Amino acid sequence: MFGFGRKAEAPVEAKASAAGRVAAWGAVGRNVWSPRDGASLVKNGYGGNPVGFRCVRLIAEAAAAVPLAVHGPDGRLAVHPLLDLIARPNAAQGGAAFREALYGQLLLTGDAYVEGVGVGLPAELHVLRSDRMSVVPGADGWPVAYDYSVGGRKHRFHVGEISPVCHVRAFHPTDDHYGMSPLAAAAGAVDVHNAASRWSKALLDNAARPSGAVINTGEALSNEQFDRLSVELEQHHQGARNAGRPMLLDGGLDWKPMGFSPSDMEFQKTKEAAAREIAMAFGVPPMMLGVPGDATYANYAEANRAFYRLTVLPLVGRVCEALAGWLSVHGGEAVSLAADKDGIPALQAERDGEWRRVAEATFLTDAEKRSMLGLPPLAE
C-alpha cells in the first residue's frame, strides 16, 4: 500500500524479444534438430562431388589466408592478447588451420561452433563439429545449452551469463536455431551432376560405347541358354579391358550396335550446367573452377577480385563479427576483428587506388588518414 502523495515505483523493464516465447512454443526444454540431413549433404556434395569439394576448399582456404586485425575504441591495435590467440588458437592447430576448419563447417552445414577454454579471455579455441552439436532452446527462444554428442556419450555446454560456445549461423528463413548451407540450396544440382558422372562411368564400363541388342533370328532360347549368354556377354564383352574384342554368336543370334541418341549427347552439357549451378550457390565464379560456359568476367583476374569482394570478405566479416562479440564478453573489453585488406594480393590494385586517394586528400590530417586506412595511431 502506498502513502498519500507518493508515486508508485515503476516496474523494471525487461528487455526481451516479444516474439521469443512464440518461437520457442512447443520446443521448451527439448532439442531442436536440424530439418536437413547434414551427413548426406556432406557425403554427396563434398565427399562425392568434385565441384562441391573444390568450392568449399577454395572459399575456406582463401578466407583462412586473409589476415585479421584487432581494433579497439581508439583504432587498430598493434599488440593485443587476442592477436596471439588468433595466431595460435590451440596446441594442435595454427591460425590458418583453425580458421579453415571454422569456415569449412559453416559452408558445409550452415553452422559453426567454437569452444572457448579458460576463464576470462580464452586460453584456447577449438572448432566443434556441427553434425555433433544440437541447440537446446529455453522458454524465451534463446539457447540455454548446447549438446555435443559422440556415439552414445553427450556433453552439455550450459549457457550462463557468458556462453562457453560461440555459434556462428548462416541465414535460414524458416529455422530459428540453425543456418542453411550452400549445399542445401545446391542439393538438386549435386544430384544431377553425380548422376551424370555415374552415367559416364557406366558408359566406360561398357567399353566406352553405347549398348546394343542381341537379336535372335532362329529358334527361341531356353532359360539355360539365355542365362549362359548373359554371363558370357558380361564376362567377355563388358568393360574397358574387353574393348574391341570380337563377339562370336551362334544359333541364329545377331548383334546390332546402337548409336548415340541426341539425349545421350546432351549429358555432358547437363553436367556442365549442374556444375555452374553448384558454383553459383557457393558464390564461386565458374571460370575459377575450369567449368566451361558463358564467361561472366573478362578475365581470371577480374573473376578473382569479384570472388573476394562478393564471397570471401562477407564470409570473413560474418565470422569476425560473431567471434569479436563473443570474445569481448569473455575478455571484458570491447574489441572488434576485421579483415586486413592490405594483405590480400587479389585486392591490391583496389587498395593502391584507395591509398592514393586518401594520401592526396589535403583536407585530412595524418591521424585521420591512418584511421581511414585502418592503421594504428602513431606512438607519441
Residues near 116 by Cβ (< 8 Å), separated by ≥ 6?
Answer: 122, 124, 125, 164, 165, 166, 326, 327, 330
Residues near 376 by Cβ (< 8 Å), separated by ≥ 6?
Answer: 75, 76, 77, 78, 370
Confidence class for position 28, pLDDT limits 50, 70, 90: very low
Nearest to 49 by CA among 294, 289, 307, 311: 289
The DSSP code sequence of 45-76 is IIIS-HHHHHHHHHHHHHHHTS-EEEEETTEE
Q: Are 372 and 358 in contact (CB under 8 A)?
A: yes
CA distance 77 to 70: 6
Confidence class for position 294, pLDDT limits 50, 70, 90: low
CB atoms within 10 A of CB 143: 17
Look over the chain and give the mean of its residue pLDDT values, rounded to a whole number: 80
Residues near 41 by Cβ (< 8 Å), separated by ≥ 6?
Answer: 108, 109, 181, 183, 184, 187
pLDDT of residue 318: 95
**Who wins on pLDDT, 282 or 231?**
282
Confidence class for position 307, pLDDT limits 50, 70, 90: very high
Share of the chain above pLDDT 90, in %: 38
Q: Are 46 and 182 in contact (CB under 8 A)?
A: no
Q: What is the pLDDT of residues 313-333, one digit of tens each?
A: 999 999 999 999 999 999 888
pLDDT at residue 47 greater than cutoff 60:
yes
pLDDT at residue 26 greater than cutoff 70:
no
Sheet (strand 124-128) strand order:
124-128, 111-117, 165-169
CA distance 131 to 39: 7
Confidence class for position 1, pLDDT limits 50, 70, 90: very low
pLDDT at residue 167 greater than cutoff 90:
yes
**Of 194-208, 255-269, 347-361, which range is least confident?**
255-269
- pTM above the 0.85 mark? no
**Of 160-169, 181-190, 232-241, 329-338, which range is least confident?**
232-241
Nearest to 69 by CA among 272, 308, 373: 373
pLDDT at residue 83 greater than cutoff 70:
yes
pLDDT of residue 5: 43
Q: What is the pLDDT of residues 202-219, one digit of tens each?
A: 767 765 554 566 666 566
Identity of the amino acid at 264 = D
3-class SS at 174? coil
Confidence class for position 300, pLDDT limits 50, 70, 90: confident
| CA torsion through residues 286, 288, 290, 294, sign | positive
pLDDT at residue 311 greater than cutoff 70:
yes
pLDDT of residue 370: 76
pLDDT of residue 248: 55
Confidence class for position 130, pLDDT limits 50, 70, 90: very high
Q: What is the pLDDT of residues 171-181, one digit of tens each?
A: 999 988 999 99
DSSP E strands in the chain: the ranges are 68-72, 75-77, 111-117, 124-128, 133-137, 143-150, 153-158, 165-169, 212-216, 253-257, 336-339
CA distance 368 to 380: 15
pLDDT of residue 266: 67
Confidence class for position 292, pLDDT limits 50, 70, 90: confident
**Of 19-28, 84-93, 287-296, which range is least confident?**
19-28
Q: How large is the C-alpha radius of gyration of the chain? A: 30
Q: Are 174 and 185 in contact (CB under 8 A)?
A: no
